[in-house]
Amino acid sequence: MKLVSKIIHVRLLFLGVILLPSCGGDKKENKKRGLVVVNVLDRELYEDCHIKDSICVPFEQVESYAVENIDKDAEVVLYCSNCYCSASGQACKQLKKLGFNNVCAYEGGTAEWYQNRLPVEGPGTKKYLKQKVAQPTHQFNIADVPLITMHQLAQKMGIK
């Protein structure tokens, strides 16, 4: 009798494990939603200065990070150093190809944000932060890349 009871107990435990959700829960539930501001520069530049509350995902990791961690319907804003850098535009194109529906590039980047005294984190020691840029240079075909301005991003982030 004890053997039958143990077998039933083991089967019930096994069935319970199969029916339970995975330890991580539903992947979609854990993905970032809403506004996600992503700095695509390397960690060193991010640590020196970045838009407050943005996350660091180096350009080479953007695709894999986004697929694993960001909901495809999230509003994703990608940025890099300034309009002379094309990394944010290229990353934007990559995410659009992967099916992200609401993605754009902030072309002014860290430098414009810093120069306009908007909230940043880090000591801000790199030279590019102080170099004024007269006109955006559009390092990428802007027809392929939706752009967001500094003012639009600040508004979305609840600043000013």
Q: What is the CATH number of the domain that holds 37?
A: 3.40.250.10
CA distance 22 to 27: 9
CA distance 74 to 36: 7
Summarised one tens digit per residue, pLDDT across range 23-70 is 344 445 689 899 999 999 999 999 999 999 999 999 999 999 999 999
**Does 12 fall in a domain?**
no
- The CB density around residue 96, as the number of other CB atoms within 10 Å, is 17
Give the mean pLDDT of the chain.
Answer: 84
**Overall domain count for the chain:** 1
pTM comes to 0.79
Summarised one tens digit per residue, pLDDT across range 146-155 is 999 999 999 9
Q: What is the mean pLDDT of residues 83-89?
A: 92
Please tell me whether residue 121 adopts helix, strand or coil conformation: strand
